[in-house]
Amino acid sequence: MRRIISVLMENEPGALSRVVGLFSQRGYNIETLTVAPTEDETLSRLTVTTVGDDHKIEQITKNLNKLIDVVKLVDLTEGQHIERELMLIKVKASGAQRAEIKRCVDIFRGQIIDVTSTVYTIQITGASDKLDAFVQSVGDAAILEVVRSGVSGISRGEKVLSL
């Protein structure tokens, strides 16, 4: 099962390396990882997506909690949540392709954010599978470069992860 674990941790040097180190040390995999400071500059918010059965995920959350720098965490996939990922993608766009790609971008509610006579640079946000679908529909042949931010997530409704 794919899980999105959201971690609030001390904004300390070395804290990120402890999280990443934990995953490699214990043989857990990291699919995506994002991290940045929050509105409180002493705290960072880290989101990690990983796959594993319930037992593995339980060990992952327990071991993350054991890290001294980790203040709180939540497995977002346990409840209603919103996930978003940002993708910047550069594709070949000349001749007949141009219109076709433009249409595709509209369908996926993306934006063309830079243009040359042969290239479109597109921005798309959404759940990871939506980005996957876009990549697929544009097709390998047209793609020049893909940059994805990794998943960020937040709970729906009134639930918050804060101090």
Partner 1 sequence: MGAHKVSAAYSVRIIIGFLKEEKQVEMLSGGDMLIRSLQEEGVDLIFGYPGGAALHIYDAIFKQDKVKHILVRHEQSATHAADGYTRATGRVGTVLVTSGPGATNAITGIATAYMDSIPMVVISGQVATDKIGEDAFQETDMVGVSRPIVKHSFMVKHASEIPEIIKKAYHIASTGRPGPVVVDVPKNTVDPMETFPFEYPKKLKMRSYTPAAKGHSGQIKKAVSMLLKAKRPIIYSGGGVVQGEASKLLTELAQKLGYPVTNTLMGLGAYPGNDKQFVGMLGMHGTFEANTAMHHCDLILAVGARFDDRVTNTTSKFCPNAKIIHIDIDPASISKTITADVPIVGSVDSVLTEMLDLLKESKEKPDEAALSDWWEQINEWRERHGIYTQPRYNTSGDMIMPQDVIKTLYEVTNGDAIVASDVGQHQMFAAQYYPFKSPRQWINSGGLGTMGFGLPAAMGAAFAFRDKDIVCVTGEGSIQMCIQELSTLTQYGLPVKIICLNNQALGMVKQWQDMVYDSRYSEIHYEDSLPDFVKLMEAYGHVGIRVNKKEELREKMEECFALKDRVVFMDIYVDPSEHVYPMLVAPGGSMRDMWLSKTERT
Using the contact rule CB under 8 A, the part of the chain among 65-73, 88-96, 115-123, 144-152 near partner 1 is: 65-73
62 binds partner 1 (CB under 8 A): yes
13 binds partner 1 (CB under 8 A): yes
Q: What is the CA radius of gyration of the chain?
A: 18
| Number of residues assigned to the chain | 163
Using the contact rule CB under 8 A, the part of the chain among 12-20, 74-82, 83-91, 125-133 near partner 1 is: 12-20
For residue 93, give the nearest of 82, 77, 104 by alpha carbon.
104
DSSP character string of 62-126: HHHHHSTTEEEEEEGGGS-EEEEEEEEEEEE--THHHHHHHHHHHHTT-EEEEE-SSEEEEEEEE
The binder of partner 1 chosen from 63, 77, 123, 125 (CB under 8 A): 63
The binder of partner 1 chosen from 16, 23, 31, 69 (CB under 8 A): 69
12 binds partner 1 (CB under 8 A): yes
Residues at the site binding partner 1, with contacts judged by CB under 8 A: 9-14, 17-18, 21, 25, 41-42, 55, 58-59, 62-63, 65-66, 68-71, 163
